Amino acid sequence: MAIHWFPGHMNSTRNAINDRMKAGLDVVIEMLDARCPGSSANPLLAQLTQGKPTLKLLNKQDIADPERTALWLAHYNALPDTRAIGLDASVKAPAQALIKACRELAPLRGGMVKPVRVLICGIPNVGKSTLINTLLSKRAAKTGDEPGITKVEQKLVLENDFYLFDTPGMLWPRIAVEESGYNLAASGAIGRNAFDEEEVALELIAYLRDNYAGLIEARYKLSDIAGLGDEELLTAIGKKRGAMLSGGRVNLQKAAEVLIYEFRQNILGRITLETPEEFLRWQAAADLIEAERKAKAGKGKKKKAKQPSRDAQGTEEVSEADEAFSEEADAEAEHKPD
């Protein structure tokens, strides 16, 4: 299943980031979901802010697997011009640590003449608004347990010489890593109308069975779930949670909603849906598929170029408009949801 969710305001955010880069920035903060750090890292943002020192904030670490969070922090801290911090955005002391980290990433900036200018970005529903409210000790930004709350950029003065530019949550138009699409949907970063809850729940349950079987067995009072198929396990969960239809049938849609909700609310326990090693493997596989897709598209364009149209004088030529239309059609077909 392909998951795509790129509302209009996200395109505006992309333009705003471009404008902010031209105006001058010293550090880029990317806020990540500690339950899926690789999947919540925006490749489009990396392109837009290329060359700038980066601070990765792994939010929601209080509900993520602590051992896996340590792996991700080590992974990001090993990258050049990058720092990584784990935090719970609602706790002030860890939140304020980002100011010190940004100053270390931009040591030549500071003071009223050269204030530190920082852009904070992240996917929808990752907790940026909560973090800002914590830093300012007041409700400066709307928060909610759904993506797309923040819609406009705002400038915040955290210290006299430290300016923070907040942007609305932004995904990217095409999520090439299939596992990332499922993880983002499960974590709440994607609007619910953009994915099938039952399909996402089945992917989630397959991962949890293989990596967090003990948490599933404890929560739903099940035993020996290793031998159950994905749908069988979701059915068993539905029975335990009362997601029933007439005739004793299980409502799998309701069971899926329950599972996703209980994962998001940390009712199942502290879970992280990927390790750095897993994500790099998924990314490599996706890159290979993308390279094959581009090669195939390139062959198609060459073939079309060999079938020229005739102009009014009978001469054969390929119009630029026809070629542009062909590329647009190829892109539209590629991005069309399954």
Place of tokens 């925006």: 42
Q: What is the pLDDT along the chain (338 residues), one digit of tens a residue?
A: 556 555 555 677 788 888 888 888 999 999 999 999 999 999 888 888 888 999 999 999 999 999 999 999 999 999 999 999 999 999 988 888 999 999 999 999 999 999 999 999 999 889 998 999 999 886 554 444 444 444 456 889 999 999 999 988 888 878 889 999 999 999 999 888 889 999 999 999 999 999 999 999 999 999 989 889 999 999 999 999 999 999 999 999 999 999 999 999 999 999 999 999 999 999 999 999 989 988 888 887 777 666 655 444 444 343 333 433 334 334 444 444 44
Report the alpha-carbon distance of residue 124 to residue 194 in Å, rounded: 14
Contact (CB, 8 A) for 175 and 155: no
Contact (CB, 8 A) for 68 and 39: no
Regarding beta strands 162-166 and 116-122, do their DSSP bridges make them parallel or antiparallel, or are they unpaired? parallel
**Bridge-partner residues for 159, per DSSP?**
162
Report the alpha-carbon distance of residue 285 to residue 277 in Å, rounded: 13
**Bridge-partner residues for 332, per DSSP?**
none
Q: What is the pLDDT of residue 84?
A: 97
Contact (CB, 8 A) for 216 and 208: yes
Question: In the chain, which residue ranges form alpha helices assigned H by DSSP?
Answer: 8-23, 43-48, 66-77, 92-105, 128-136, 178-187, 197-211, 213-220, 230-240, 252-264, 276-305, 320-335
Q: What is the pLDDT of residue 316?
A: 39
Q: What is the pLDDT of residue 152?
A: 55
The tokens of 193 are what?
């109308």
Q: What is the pLDDT of residue 19?
A: 81
Q: What is the pLDDT of residue 308?
A: 56
Report the alpha-carbon distance of residue 184 to residue 195 in Å, rounded: 10
* pTM greater than the 0.85 cutoff: no
Q: What is the pLDDT of residue 327?
A: 40
Contact (CB, 8 A) for 57 and 30: yes
In the chain, the amino acid numbered 250 is: V
Q: What is the pLDDT of residue 142?
A: 47
Q: What is the pLDDT of residue 60?
A: 96
Q: What is the pLDDT of residue 325?
A: 32
